[in-house]
Amino acid sequence: MNLLKSAKDYVSIGLSVISTDNTKRSIGSWKQYQYNAPTEQQLTTMFAHPKVQGLAIICGAVSGNLEVIDVDCKYGVDFSKYCDKILDANPILFGKLFIVKTKSNGYHIYFRCEFIEGNQKLAERPPNDAELKANPMAKSYVLIETRGEGGYVCAPPTAGYNPEPGNKKIPVLTIDERDTLMSCAREFNKIIEEVAQVDLPKVTPNNYKITVWEDYNKRGNSLELLTKHGWTVLNNDGKKTYLLRPGLTTSATSAVIFNDTKIFYPHTTSTNFENKGYNPFGVYMMLEADNNLNKACKQLADLGYGEMNGEGLFWTYTKNGVKIKRYDLAIWLSTKEFMIYFQNKKLGLYRIIKKDETKIKESYSQEIKSFIVNHLQDSLKRSNDDYKPKNDLPKNKKLTKKDEDFIEIETFKNVCEALLRESSVIFNDNFYEFLKEAEVDILRDKAKSCYFPFKNGIVTINDKEIKLINYGDINECIWDSQINDFDIYVNKDADITECQYYKFIEKISNDESERINYALSIIGYILHSFKDSSRPFAVILAEETDDESKGGGTGKGIFFKAISKLIPTVTMDGKNFKPDKTFAFSRVELGTKLVVIEDCPKNVEFERYYPTITEGMTIEKKNKDEIFLSFDDSPKLAFTTNYSIASNAEHAKRRQRVLEFAPFFSSSKTPEQHFGNKLFNDWDNDEWQRFYNFLFICVQYYFKNDIKPIMNSEKLNRKQIKMQFGEDFLDYLDTIIEDHYGQQLALNDEWKNFLNRYELQARDYSLKRFAKGLQIGSQILGIDYIGYKNRQDNNKKYFKIGNNDNMYKEIVTNVTDLF
């Protein structure tokens, strides 16, 4: 027996091997050979060990996705019967198999497949009485198992291991062929592990005698449900019903239902079911409720499963009529996914939410009342027009089903009346605090990732890829208001230049590439709801013209209307808006991502918005406690204006990103006229797909490039000076720059000249304002400015605009230091 030569031969055909002792154990550590086959030198050293008695082949990826089925015949499994099942299912498959008889008269079936798994047990049986007597701790004996990733099998020419006649090569099987081998093996399984249905909804004893899942397990029909979903009945031997899965398969059987216990046990791996036992409720949950336990309970309750106590869900009967049990009502609402969601638990700030699988939305008292009444109305089985009142029924009369239905109707009517009568007492803060607390994680954008929920899935974006994932792929919840009612298709090769909205961006950017890219990054920043506390800023849409009378109609409204098509946006009228006013942000919801202050007036006080931009937002609604959204949870802020918002101060610059709109569009040349249709209103599905994919690309562009600063246009700069210091001052500043550039000028003299030229009085325009205008105006225009006192001229104040050199090293450059 030349083990070393055989080991080298195995390695040459792509198998990783190790040496073993007489107990089939590896000699030395074999972990490294799970990833790389041994070299010739390593093999020589390995098989020179004095304890070597055999060799083993390592399964898994290192050996070309090798997997081995180990049939252990000493515990009673008949290998010939296993072979017969494979032959019945697929004779051609059986002819491919490479089979080795083992030292213990068992069998190894070798094959490769593109999909394999780790070691797993396929068939077990419980110990018999004799085995339990010999070993009281025995729980089961394995009949058939696999060796896959992380496992190995002893192989020829190890003593006792001999290939069976037939195929001499390890075959490559399809996934379906592999599934046939596994399915046939699982038919020998005698121990069915039942799927545990954990976290069943808690229903108080006062609500149900029998829960919906208990009732369905008694009365539900798994076989009928499975056939509805494409499973086929093969036969019934009295103990088991044999089934074949939907779709094409070569397996003889795919699953069984045990007739006595109603347990469904799938052999196949080609369905959503695990290879475990499912009771009828488990089958229903998988097939009818997307494996969502709460959804299954709700649906079955609506179908009439579950038996309620006579007192009702949340009411009782007294001599004065129906009485609402408030605590039971709170518990019942909790089972219907109404929950209390704390924004700040320390301060007791909360909102009521309604959860529907992964979707949540904010709820209010009126909605909760309507939900209860509608639920009771839906429970009415017949109209009471056909029946007599209960009191009119003859005494001692045995009630018919008709009579019982009417009594039920009367009860529900009385419950509704009790709810209305006690409404003000029931629905208050004390009551809502007994609702179940929502333990939910909200899906949030991260520093370099973004999520956009659509009807058919969630678009995820990072700096490397844009893709669509299923709702089932996430554990977090999503605000209902954030879900776009649209079936999206992610087009990785989208040509954004074909998108009509991109063409709109080109025109508002004057067809200049730098400005277009800047606009793309601004769009990406707005859509990305993650907020960086080191860079808190608002987006401002301004106009390139320096004449505010010609402003408007440039497309600023369309810009944010597009944004609102993807993220929840609230728009405020900037003309009368005051951020510190009560109920200022009352329209903002918990899922809002952007607040736009539109058409801000002249000389808007941007400083009043600093707390909202840098700290967070306080929301106060009528008859509700105010709630504070922290910086991370609050929406971003944006402004539009036909004028200008001061940005010369350093603190203002840090909090602004200005996007200038070129005057391509106007009241006389609208986007509708230019494009020949109404943006958004007249789009077909293809244009919407292009639009959304363009916005996704904007987000990715922002991730890759951030927002690179861009210089404001000269017109916008001049507008800022005019807004702050007046048109007359701007005209005078132009004169100084044009006629006295770089010259030393006396501050007081120039101020008097300014007043005389425009027929102003000192009370109309102070020297301090004039000096500040010179400094800030120069700064906005990007021109050097120096203000100083001339010691040789009795400390008289001078200034100089442009062309400054080093002759004034001791001058004061801050105007506030001069006064």
- Same fold for the pair 208-305 and 496-705: no
Reported confidence tier of residue 400, pLDDT bands at 50, 70, 90: very low
Q: 108-112, 200-204, 242-246, 295-299: lowest mean pLDDT where?
A: 200-204
Inform me whether the pLDDT recorded for 170 exceeds 90: yes
> Phi and psi for 11 in degrees, rounded to 5?
-65, -35
Domain 496-705 indexed as CATH 3.30.70.100 = no
Higher-scoring residue by pLDDT: 320, 188: 188
Which pLDDT belongs to residue 544? 67
Helical ranges in 168-279 per DSSP H: 175-186, 212-219, 222-228
For the chain, the average pLDDT equals 82
Which pLDDT belongs to residue 66? 96
The two beta strands, 240-244 and 141-147, are unpaired
CA distances from 295 to 335, 337, 402, 535 (A): 11, 10, 32, 42
Would you say 752 and 745 are in contact if contact means Cβ atoms under 8 Å apart? Answer: no
The two beta strands, 569-573 and 594-600, are parallel
- Quote the tokens at residue 546: 């320096």
Inform me whether the pLDDT recorded for 402 exceeds 50: no
Which pLDDT belongs to residue 397? 43
Task: Tell me the C-alpha distance between 699 and 702, whole Å.
Answer: 5
Mean per-residue pLDDT for 145-167?
Answer: 92
Neighbours of 501 (CB within 10 A): 25
Inform me whether the pLDDT recorded for 408 exceeds 60: no
Higher-scoring residue by pLDDT: 321, 153: 153
Neighbours of 359 (CB within 10 A): 17
Reported confidence tier of residue 310, pLDDT bands at 50, 70, 90: very low
Inform me whether the pLDDT recorded for 238 exceeds 50: yes
Inform me whether the pLDDT recorded for 198 exceeds 50: no
Would you say 543 and 555 are in contact if contact means Cβ atoms under 8 Å apart? Answer: no
C-alpha torsion sign, points 257, 262, 264, 265: negative
Reported confidence tier of residue 195, pLDDT bands at 50, 70, 90: low
Higher-scoring residue by pLDDT: 359, 160: 160
Q: Which residues pair with 241 in a beta bridge?
A: 236, 257
Inform me whether the pLDDT recorded for 214 exceeds 70: yes
Percent of the chain scoring above 70 in pLDDT: 85
Which pLDDT belongs to residue 248? 75
Task: Tell me the C-alpha distance between 398 and 408, whole Å.
Answer: 16
Inform me whether the pLDDT recorded for 817 exceeds 50: no
List pLDDT tens digits, range 583-635: 777 788 777 889 998 887 766 767 777 777 777 787 777 666 677 777 888 88
Which pLDDT belongs to residue 625? 63
> Phi and psi for 253 in degrees, rounded to 5?
-140, 160
Mean per-residue pLDDT for 721-737?
Answer: 84
Q: Is residue 579 reached through a cis peptide bond, with omega within 30 degrees of 0 on the bond before it?
A: no
Higher-scoring residue by pLDDT: 90, 642: 90
Q: 48-62, 170-184, 201-215, 236-250: lowest mean pLDDT where?
A: 201-215
Inform me whether the pLDDT recorded for 531 exceeds 50: yes
What are the residue boundaries of the structural domains of the chain, listed by start?
3-186, 208-305, 315-432, 496-705, 726-818
Domain 3-186: which CATH number of 3.30.2250.10, 3.40.50.720, 3.40.50.300, 3.20.20.70: 3.30.2250.10
Q: 108-112, 251-255, 451-455: lowest mean pLDDT where?
A: 251-255
Which pLDDT belongs to residue 551? 55
Would you say 538 and 560 are in contact if contact means Cβ atoms under 8 Å apart? Answer: no
CA-wise closest residue to 415 among 489, 510, 315: 315
Task: Tell me the C-alpha distance between 31 and 14, whole Å.
Answer: 17
- The rounded Cα 521 to chain-centroid distance in angstroms is 23
Single-letter amino acid code for the residue at 525: Y
* Helix (H) and strand (E) counts in the chain: 26, 35
How many residues in total does the chain contain? 819
**Burial tier of 196 (Cβ tally within 10 Å: 0-12, 13-18, 19+):** exposed
> Phi and psi for 572 in degrees, rounded to 5?
-115, 150
3-state class (DSSP) for residue 541: strand
Which pLDDT belongs to residue 35? 92
Place of tokens 């094959």: 111
Single-letter amino acid code for the residue at 528: H
Q: What is the third-level CATH fold of 208-305?
A: DNA Primase; Chain A (3.90.580)
List pLDDT tens digits, range 86-102: 998 888 899 899 999 99
Single-letter amino acid code for the residue at 28: G
Mean per-residue pLDDT for 225-244?
Answer: 89
Task: Tell me the C-alpha distance between 353 and 338, whole Å.
Answer: 6
Task: Tell me the C-alpha distance between 403 and 418, whole Å.
Answer: 23
Q: Which residues contact 134 (CB under 8 A, 6 or more apart)?
A: none
DSSP code per residue over 357-410: TTEEEEE-HHHHHHHHHHHHHHT--S-GGGS--GGGSPTTPPPPHHHHHHHHHH
Mean per-residue pLDDT for 719-738?
Answer: 83
Mean per-residue pLDDT for 390-418?
Answer: 54
List pLDDT tens digits, range 562-573: 999 998 898 888
Is the pTM here over 0.85, yes or no?
no
Inform me whether the pLDDT recorded for 530 exceeds 80: yes
Longest dimension (CA), the chain: 121
Q: Provide long-range contacts, Cβ within 8 A and 24+ apart, for 805-812.
A: 811/786, 811/787, 812/787, 812/788
Task: Tell me the C-alpha distance between 141 and 422, whole Å.
Answer: 64
List pLDDT tens digits, range 339-393: 888 766 666 667 788 888 778 888 888 888 888 888 777 655 433 333 334 444 4
